[in-house]
Amino acid sequence: MSDAPTWEQANGAYLKASLDWLAVRLAGLTPPPPAPTPAEPLEMEPLGSKRGWRRTRDRSADAPSTSGQAEPETAVQVSAGARQGAAEAMAGAREAAARAMAGLGAPALAQIAERLGLTDFERDVLLLCAAPAIEPGITALIAAAQGEPAPTFALALRLFDDARWDVLSPERGLRFWRLAEPVGAGAQPLAVVPLRADDRIVDLIRGLNRLDERLAGLVEHRPDPAAGLGLPASSQAAVDALVGAALTDTPDGRFPVIQLLGGDGPSCELVAVRAMALLNRELYHLPVSALVAAGTDQDLVARLWQRESLLLPMALLLDAVDADLADPATAAALRRFLSQAGGLVLLATREVWPVAGRATSVVDVSRPTLAEQAELWAAATGLPLEGAPRALAGQFRLSVPAVHRIATALRPVLDSPDGRARLWAACRTSARPRLEALARRTVPQARWEDLVLPGEQTDLLRGLVAQVRHRATVMSTWGYGERRARGNGVTALFSGPSGTGKTFAAEVLAHELGQDLYRVDLSAVVDKYIGETEKNLRRVFDAAEDGGALLLFDEADALFGRRSEVRDSHDRYANIEVSYLLQRMEAYEGVAVLATNLRAALDPAFLRRLRFVVDFPMPGREERRRLWSAAFPAGVPLGVLDLDALVDLPVTGAAVQAIALGAAFLAADAGEPVDTATVLAAARTEFRKLGLPLTVPRPERVGR
C-alpha cells in the first residue's frame, strides 16, 4: 500500500503551515506579555474530522517536569528578537508544504487565488478573514493585535508585506467575488469594519469544493436524461456545433452566450448535457422564471454563478423556452443576468435573444426527424424497424429522453400479449399536452360503424387516417419529407350545417388513431389584450405537436375568419391574429380539425394549408333511416316504430339523438314503451326549440 499523501492530506499540511505562519505574524504585532505562559500549538485533527484545526497542549506538559528544564518555545510564543526568524521559518514551511503537493495539484488557497485573479496580498487577506472559522484560537491573537476579535482591512494593511489600499475597492477580487464581506458597516470607515469570510470559500480552503448553497435552491444539476442511448445524426450535429461554439475565442476572452434555438426543452437539455460531457463540465439548469421570483437577488445570483463557474467545472442552462419574454420584468432580468454572469451560459429559447455586451452564438436544436425517430424507437426497444417503431414515429413526436424513458420502463414486457398496446398507451400519456386551461380533453368512444355519412365523405375521412398512419413511411422512407420543409401535419376542414356530425366525425378519427380529442375552448384562447391570443394559440399548437392528440377548433370561423380592410387598430390586430394562424397552421406537425357552419366566412388562404376539406351535408333519406335505426340503446323498451314516418322528418343526426332522448323521457314518465307517437311528440318539441316549421304530423294520425 503506497504511503504517498493524498491531495486532501497535502492540502491540510499546507493549510496548517499557513495558519502557523499567520499566527507568527500576528504575534509580531503583539507586545510580549510580562509573564508568558506556555501556549498551545496548532495541531491537525485526523483527516475527515469535522473539527478540523484545534488548539492542544503539548503532550509533554502532562509528563512530570524535569528539574531545571525549561518549557520549549512554540511558533506563537517566541521572544521579540526571534519573531522575524520564526516568521521566515514558517514562510519556508508553507512553501515546503506547497512543493510537497507537486503532482497532486495546487493547494485550495492557491487555486482560489489563481482562478479569481487575487494578488499575493489579497490571498493573505483572505487567509486572515477565514482563519477564525478554521482555527478559533487565532481570534485571541487578532484581538491582541488590534483590540477587536474580528479581522479588518486595517489589520491586514499592517500585517502583510506589499499591502495595497485598493484591496478595499469593490472592483478588487475580495469584494467583487464576495470572498470577504464587511459585517455591520454602519457609519464606520470600511478599513475598520469587521470582516467575515464567505462560508463557501472557507469550506473550499479546507478542501471541500461544493456548489454554493445559495445557488443550490435555484439551480438543479442535470444528469444525462438518455444515458446509454445513442443520439440521432441531427442531435449529434447540434452537440458538435455547441462544443465548437464553446471553444470559440471571443474578443473579451469570455465564453459566448450560446443560444439553443428550437423551443423543445428536453431536446435542448439533452444536447447541452452531451456537449458538456465532452467538455468535462457538469450542467445545471435554471429557469428564467426563478430570476424574477419574489425574494431573488438577481445581482447576487449572477455574481455567485460567475464565481462558481471559475471554481467548479460547470455550465448553466438558462431555460427561457416557456418564459414570457414580452413581459418587461422578465426581459429585464434576463438581460441583466446575461450581462453580469460569466462562465459558460447556454440559453434555451424559442427565438434569438439580443445579448448586449457579449458575444453570442446560435445552435439550432430540433427533435429527431421521422426517420430518426423510427430508428431511435427500434434501438431503444429492440423491435423490428418496420413494425411498432415506424408506427410510433408516424404518430408521436417525442424527444430522445422521452423515448429512452418509455422504452426503458416497458422493454421487459414488450413481448407480452399486451406489450405493444402498453407501449402505445405510454406514448399517448407522455405526449398528452398540458392544455387543461385552453381545451377540453375527451377520451373518444365513437367508432366507424356509429358514423352515418355519404360514401364520399367517409372515404375522405378514411384517407385522412391513412395519411396519419403512413406519414413516417411516405415522408421519410420515400423521401417526400425532403421536398417539404414545412407543413407535414395533417389538417382538415369540416364544414356544414349544425348537427350534421362534424364533431362526432372528429371523435371517430381520434378513436381510430388512438389519440385523445382536445376541443379548443375559444373563450379561453381569445383575449382582448393585444398579443395574448397569439400566445394562447402558440401554447395550444406547441403542446399538441408531440402527437397523441387531435385538435378540434369548433366554430373555427371565429378564429380563422377573413382578413378585412384596416380601418382602425382593432382591424389591424385582428388581421395579425389571422396571419399568425396562417403561419402556425403551415408549420404545424400534428393532427388538427377545423369545424365551421360558415365555410364562406373563413379566409381563403387557409384552404391551401389544409390537407382535407370535407363537406357535411344534411342527411338524406337513407342516412336518416340508419340514424333512426341506431337512435335507441338496447336497454330502451320499444313499441311499434314506423321508420318510414320518422325518416320523412327533415332532421340532422344531432336532432335525431335529441328527439330520441326526449322520447325516452316521455315514455318513462308515462310508464309505456317508446313508440312512433312518443317520438313524434318529442320531435314537435325539438322543432319548436330549433324554430323550424312544424311539419311533424300529429301523433294521433300515425297508427301504433
The answer to whether 409 and 241 have CB atoms below 8 angstroms apart is no
pLDDT at 541: 80
Pairing of strands 360-364, 439-442: unpaired
DSSP E strand stretches across 426-582: 439-442, 490-495, 516-520, 549-553
Q: Is the pLDDT of residue 54 over 70?
A: no
Cβ-proximal residues to 591 (8 Å cutoff; 6+ apart), any chain = 468, 489, 490, 491, 509, 513, 515, 549, 550, 551
Residue 306 CA to residue 160 CA, distance in Å, equals 29
Residue 28 pLDDT: 82
Q: Each residue of 232-260: pLDDT tens digit? A: 999 999 999 999 999 988 777 788 999 99
Q: Is the dihedral of CA 126, 127, 133, 136 positive or negative?
A: negative
The confidence score (pLDDT) of residue 118 equals: 94
pLDDT of residue 641: 87
Q: Which of 614, 367, 368, 615 is nearest to 491 (CA)?
A: 614
User: Which of residues 612 and 523 earns the better pLDDT score?
Assistant: 612
DSSP letter, residue 547: B
All domains of the chain in start order, with CATH: 7-206 (no CATH), 215-364 (3.40.50.300), 370-431 (no CATH), 439-615 (3.40.50.300), 621-701 (1.10.8)
pLDDT for position 174: 93
Report which secondary-structure segment, H or E, holds 682. helix 676-690
Q: Express as a percent the part of the chain with pLDDT over 90.
A: 29
Is the model's pLDDT at 369 over the cut of 50? Answer: yes
How many other C-beta atoms can be found within 10 angstroms of the C-beta atom of residue 400?
25
- Residue bearing cell 413494425: 387
Q: What type of residue sits at position 430? A: S
C-alpha cell at 144: 491582541
pLDDT for position 198: 94
Q: What SS3 state is found at 441?
A: strand
pLDDT value for 10? 86
Looking at residue 55, its pLDDT comes to: 33
Cell of 528: 382582448
| Contact status, residue 377 vs residue 407, Cβ threshold 8 Å | yes
pLDDT at 88 over 60: yes
pLDDT at 177: 93
Task: Please tell me the distance from the alpha carbon of residue 348 to that of residue 357, in angstroms, as a whole number.
Answer: 19
Q: Do 263 and 353 touch, CB atoms closer than 8 A?
A: no
pLDDT score of 87: 66
Residue in the block written with cell 492540502: 11
The C-alpha cell that represents 25 in the structure block? 505574524
User: From the CB of residue 20, how many other CB atoms can be counted at a distance below 10 Å?
Assistant: 22
What is the arithmetic mean of pLDDT over 80-89?
62
The pLDDT score that the predictor gives to residue 586 is: 73
Neighbours of 219 (CB within 10 A): 23
* pLDDT score of 661: 92
The chain-wide mean pLDDT, for the chain, equals: 81
Helices (H), 231-369: 233-246, 265-278, 288-291, 298-311, 328-340
Burial of 131 (0-12, 13-18, 19+ CB in 10 A): buried
| pLDDT for 337 beyond 80 | yes
Grid cell digits, residue 300: 447576487
Over 60: is that where the pLDDT of 92 sits? Answer: yes
Count the helix, strand and coil residues of the chain and give each as a percent rounded to the nearest 5. 50, 10, 40
pLDDT at 392 > cutoff 50: yes
How much is the pLDDT for 639? 87
pLDDT of residue 529: 64
Q: Is the pLDDT confidence value at 151 over 90?
A: yes
Judge whether residue 310 has pLDDT over 50: yes
Report the C-alpha gap between 460 and 35 in whole angstroms. 107
DSSP assignment string, 50-107: SS-EEE---GGGGSPPPTT-PPPP-SSS--GGGHHHHHHHHHHHHHHHHHHTTTT---
**pLDDT at 139 (0 to 100):** 92
The closest alpha carbon to 128, from 12, 11, 13, 26, belongs to 26
Higher pLDDT, 697 or 125: 125
User: CB neighbours of 478 closer than 8 A, spacing ≥ 6?
Assistant: none
Q: pLDDT class for 323, splitting at 50, 70, 90?
A: confident
3: which residues sit within 8 A by CB, 6+ positions away? none
**8 Å CB contact between 318 and 286:** yes
pTM: 0.77
- Angstrom CA distances, 504 to 11, 451, 455, 500, 517, stand at 74, 8, 16, 9, 11
Query: Higher model confidence: residue 67 or residue 168?
Result: 168
402-406: long-range contacts at Cβ-Cβ below 8 A with a sequence spacing of 24 or more?
402/266, 402/430, 402/431, 403/226, 403/229, 403/373, 403/376, 403/377, 404/225, 404/226, 404/227, 404/228, 404/229, 404/380, 405/225, 405/226, 405/430, 406/380, 406/430
Closest CA to 492 of 576, 417, 399, 588: 588
**Contact (CB, 8 A) for 596 and 493:** yes
Calculate mean pLDDT across residues 575-582: 67
Q: How far is CA 322 from the centre of its chain?
A: 8
pLDDT band at 689 (very low <50, low <70, confident <90, very high): confident
DSSP three-state, residue 194: coil
Total count of residues recorded for the chain: 704
Strands (DSSP E) found in 320-403: 345-349, 360-364
Sheet holding 516-520, edge to edge: 439-442, 516-520, 549-553, 591-596, 490-495, 612-615
| Exposed / middle / buried, residue 528 (Cβ in 10 Å: 0-12, 13-18, 19+) | exposed
Cα separation, 285 vs 501, in Å, equals 48
Q: Using one digit for the tens of pLDDT, what is the confidence trace for 110-122?
A: 999 999 999 999 9
pLDDT in tens, 432-462: 777 767 788 888 888 898 888 888 999 999 9
For residue 197, what pLDDT is reported?
A: 94
